[in-house]
Amino acid sequence: MDIKKLLLRNETVLIFAIIIFSLVIGSKSPEFFTLANLFDILRSSFVQLLFALGVLIVIISGGIDVSFPIVGIFSGYTAVIIMQKLELNPESLFIPIVLAVLIGIALGGFNAIAIAGFGIPTLIATLGTAGIFRGVMLSFIGASFISDIPIGLDKFSTADLVKFESDAGTLVRLHVLVIPVAIITILVALLLSRTIFGRSVYALGGGTEPTRRLGISVKRTQAKIYMLVGGLSGLAGILYVSLQRKANPYDLAGSELDVIAAVVLGGASIMGGYGTVFGTVLGVLFINMIKNNLVLLGVSSSWQRAAVGVLLVIGITIQAISENRKNKRQKSASDSEVA
Amino acid sequence: MMNERASKFSTAGLLADRKVTQLMAFTAFTFLIFSYFSSDIFFTPENFISMAYQVPEIAILSIAVMLSMLTGGIDLSIVGISNASALIASYIMTQKMSEEGAISNSWILIACLVGILMGLLCGAINSILIAVLNVTPILATLATMTLFNGIAIGITNGVSVSDLPEQFMRIGNGTFFGVPSPFILMLIIAGFVGYLINRTGLGLKVFLIGTNRKAAQYSVMGDRKVIAWTYVISGLLSALAGLIIASRTSAASPDFGNSYILLAIVIVVLGGVNPMGGFGTVTGVVLATIVLQMVSSGFNALRFSQFFYLAAQGGVLVLVMILNAVLEKRRISKSINKSLGS
């Protein structure tokens, strides 16, 4: 019974999907199974994973956030502008990151006010604030591309933990970010599973009324969630700027779907109440693996978006079907009890 | 008992009217403000004519969003559908033109029909996901939005199709008795949807589902079928909007109108539709479209940047929702006080 349950878990399905997909691509082009490719997939996943962790928390709580990419680029871009305007030490890596996280928390605070303060549905509130943030950034803070970002950030983009030349002559690099991102991932997992706050997030996803009756403040929990997500998005935004070595205020907008897709594929229930960090990590890796390697599979680049769309539809369909089955089983169980 | 029920109905009717009246006042107010501040650019016949060409497409998209919202769902794939439909129709037209050098009216009709068929098909995919497989509407349409957009990019390799035949362009740029023809199309569509939701059984069921899905289920009226129909109609409307856009601009592109989703939701909410479902009027949505178009034209006339308009859209959305929440709270506490007092 337990093994069956384990096999039916979303994470297990995803692991199988990743393995099958790897084998298919690997059999077509052996360059897939190189360390360089693995590290490339990791590198392209860092920023998305940070965003995804934030989205996971929101989705577990029963909400949805579509403003996080805008919060991210707003924080990253504004942090760079502040660094330049105030002529802060350009060597520093610490100052821009702290700035971006603080800006992210402040923007998350706006979401918190709209959602926790006034009870606006989360999708509509974050759609609105995304428009406000983007509009304010592009009309008041700046609309031009900055290529000379502070040296500290620029240098960080090439800070590699491991760097060597492989036998085939390609450069194999593992970015140092893998450590902090792994630590943050573990911290979020612990936060969700081991703290009162984390358990309140799950409770909130189960329903607001039961949460209130448990004696948990719904508003306070929601406010904390959206500020935390803002902070995470701010961090992701500044790291994005650093890895890209440029601050482009038009970037990231529209990337919310891929991240939400990764979280949902990772098994988080959009209705709230269920979701794991491990599943999210797998979801992000899976999406990035596919995006990076569809070309190797022979899918032309213009059909990539459609392929991601098909994958998403399949993912949510499987989830919905298993959910339907569970409901039916519960229903028939309760029916037989009555009889 | 009878009286109580009657009074309840009349207040609900009044409330509906009040929302439209408020909106009309708001429309007039916006109109006066921009006319005053920019009498030389905003308050000119040319500006109003150009607005009459721009309003229809977004109004039709907003009506599509409204339909799904009335059932308590949402359709985020409207722009994806409208672009995919417009691209297919444009693709057929330009292919035919490059083959034969010219194109007959019947081929244009065929191309448009294929475009509409594409819209219906996309709507049907949404319906299957939402009504049959029970996927949450937000999630289903988020996924299909990527899918439809991806199909559009795939077909055209990501480039836009332009130089559409002149006869086709006449639909979007012509006039009918002096009124821009897209505007007339919009009135016909709005009238059709208004009739559908207010005068037919399907419409009544749509409102019932939006008000209380459980009750709708227990009344065995085929709630899934109703929801399936809403998304199919939403797909049809999106396709029509896409064709109008293509014919007005003489081009179709996979990434046209990405900002229209936010705009359509802003309009629908501003138009008094309850995002939880169960309440909304076509009149409100059309009026809200006109208000936002005036704001857009006015900002343009006053030389504000388009991003400022984006911020204003978001601001309007959040403020309207906050206002609704505050008014609702006050109404509830008032009615509690009343019943406690009596």
Which chain A positions have a beta carbon within 8 Å of B139's beta carbon? 264, 270, 316
Interface A-B: count of C-beta contacts within 8 A? 152
Task: Report angle CA A295, A301, A306 to the nearest 5 degrees.
Answer: 105
Mutation test of the interface with chain A: which of B66, B138, B142, B328, choosing the one with the most A Cβ atoms within 10 A? B142
The neighbour count for residue B188, using CB atoms within 10 Å, is 10
Q: Which pLDDT value is given to residue B13? A: 47
Percent of chain B with pLDDT over 70: 94
Question: In the predicted model, is pLDDT for residue A226 greater than 90?
Answer: yes
Helix (H, G, I), strand (E, B) or coil at A67: coil
Region A290-297 average pLDDT = 77
Strands B179-180 vs B161-162: parallel, antiparallel or unpaired: unpaired
Contact, A116 vs A217, CB < 8 A?
Answer: no
Task: Kindly state the helix (H) or strand (E) to which residue B179 belongs, with its residue range.
Answer: strand B179-180
B133 and A320 within 8 Å at the Cβ level: the answer is yes
DSSP letter string, A169-187: SPEEEEETTHHHHHHHHHH
Of B139, B275, B311, the CB nearest to A316: B139
Nearest CA in chain A to B269: A124
Percent of chain B with pLDDT over 90: 27
Residue linked to tokens 């006010």: A113
Arithmetic mean of pLDDT over chain A: 87
Domain boundaries defined on chain A: 36-252+271-276
A260 and B142 within 8 Å at the Cβ level: the answer is yes
Of B266, B310, B325, the CB nearest to A119: B325
Mutation test of the interface with chain A: which of B69, B88, B91, B136, choosing the one with the most A Cβ atoms within 10 A? B136
Strands B179-180 vs B175-176: parallel, antiparallel or unpaired: antiparallel
B266 and A313 within 8 Å at the Cβ level: the answer is no
A17-21, B6-10, B24-28: segment of lowest average pLDDT = B6-10
Domains of chain B (ranges, CATH numbers): 54-330 (1.10.3470)
Which chain A positions have a beta carbon within 8 Å of B314's beta carbon? 127-135
B154 and A303 within 8 Å at the Cβ level: the answer is yes
A125 and B321 within 8 Å at the Cβ level: the answer is yes
Query: A164 - beta bridge partners?
Result: A172
What backbone torsions phi and psi does residue A248 show, to the nearest 5 degrees?
-115, 110
CA distance A306 to chain B (A): 4
Nearest to A22 by CA among A265, A259, A278, A297: A297
Question: What is the amino acid identity at position A161?
Answer: L
Of A129, A310, A320, the CB nearest to B147: A310
Question: In the predicted model, is pLDDT for residue A44 greater than 70?
Answer: yes
Of A130, A313, A320, the CB nearest to B147: A313
B265 and A321 within 8 Å at the Cβ level: the answer is no
Nearest CA in chain B to A258: B146
Nearest to B237 by CA among B55, B81, B126, B29: B81
Q: What residues contact residue A86 under an 8 Å CB cut-off, 6+ apart?
A: none
From CA A236, how far away is CA A223, in angstroms rounded? Answer: 20
Sign of CA dihedral A150, A152, A153, A156: positive
Confidence of residue A152 (pLDDT cuts 50, 70, 90): confident
Task: Report angle CA B232, B237, B243 to the nearest 5 degrees.
Answer: 125
Question: What is the amino acid identity at position B302?
Answer: L
Question: What is the amino acid identity at position A184?
Answer: I
Of B138, B140, B315, the CB nearest to A132: B315
Percent of chain A with pLDDT over 70: 95
Q: Which residue has the higher pLDDT, A18 or A54?
A: A54
Of B145, B153, B275, the CB nearest to A121: B275
The CA distances from residue A108 to A73, A185, A222, in Å, are 13, 20, 11
Q: Which pLDDT value is given to residue B5? A: 41
Arithmetic mean of pLDDT over chain B: 85
Mutation test of the interface with chain B: which of A118, A264, A300, choosing the one with the most B Cβ atoms within 10 A? A118
User: How confident is the model over A231-280, as pLDDT tens digits?
Assistant: 999 999 999 999 988 899 988 887 887 888 889 888 888 778 889 999 99
Q: Which pLDDT value is given to residue B240? A: 95
CA distance B150 to chain A (A): 4
Q: Which pLDDT value is given to residue B14? A: 44
Of A135, A270, A324, the CB nearest to B314: A135
User: How confident is the model over A48-102, as pLDDT tens digits?
Assistant: 999 999 999 999 999 989 899 999 999 999 999 999 998 888 888 889 999 999 9
User: How confident is the model over B254-302, as pLDDT tens digits?
Assistant: 877 777 888 898 899 888 888 888 888 898 899 999 988 888 888 888 8
Q: Which pLDDT value is given to residue A293? A: 78
Q: Which pLDDT value is given to residue B9? A: 43
From CA B2, how far away is CA A335, in angstroms rounded? Answer: 38
Contact, A112 vs A122, CB < 8 A?
Answer: no
B318 and A114 within 8 Å at the Cβ level: the answer is yes
Indicate the pTM of the whole model: 0.85
Torsion of CA A45, A50, A51, A54, to 10 degrees: 150
From CA A331, how far away is CA B311, in angstroms rounded? Answer: 47
Contact, B305 vs B279, CB < 8 A?
Answer: no
Q: Which residue has the higher pLDDT, A235 or B222?
A: A235
B321 and A257 within 8 Å at the Cβ level: the answer is no
Structure tokens at B89: 């129709």
Region A196-201 average pLDDT = 94
From CA B299, how far away is CA B306, in angstroms rounded? Answer: 8
Q: Which long-range contacts (CB under 8 A, 24 or more apart) does B298-305 make?
A: B298/B30, B298/B33, B298/B34, B298/B37, B298/B38, B298/B42, B301/B34, B301/B38, B301/B41, B301/B42, B301/B47, B302/B34, B302/B37, B302/B38, B304/A139, B305/A138, B305/A139, B305/A143
Percent of chain A with pLDDT over 90: 40
A309 and B310 within 8 Å at the Cβ level: the answer is no
Question: What is the amino acid identity at position B167?
Answer: Q
Question: How many distinct helices (H) and strands (E) make up chain A?
Answer: 14, 2
Q: Which pLDDT value is given to residue A154? A: 87
CA distance B29 to chain A (A): 23
CA distance B146 to chain A (A): 5
The CA distances from residue A17 to A22, A279, A286, B63, B102, in Å, are 8, 13, 8, 40, 50
A302 and B157 within 8 Å at the Cβ level: the answer is yes
Q: Which pLDDT value is given to residue B331? A: 85
Nearest CA in chain B to A313: B143
Q: Which pLDDT value is given to residue B1? A: 35
A182-191, A301-310, B83-92: segment of lowest average pLDDT = A301-310
Q: Which pLDDT value is given to residue B260? A: 85
Region A285-295 average pLDDT = 82
Confidence of residue B252 (pLDDT cuts 50, 70, 90): confident
A303 and B140 within 8 Å at the Cβ level: the answer is no
Question: In the predicted model, is pLDDT for residue B11 greater than 50?
Answer: no
Question: What is the amino acid identity at position A259?
Answer: V
Structure tokens at B159: 């480039």
Which chain B positions have a beta carbon within 8 Å of A139's beta carbon? 304-305, 307-308, 311
Nearest CA in chain A to B304: A139
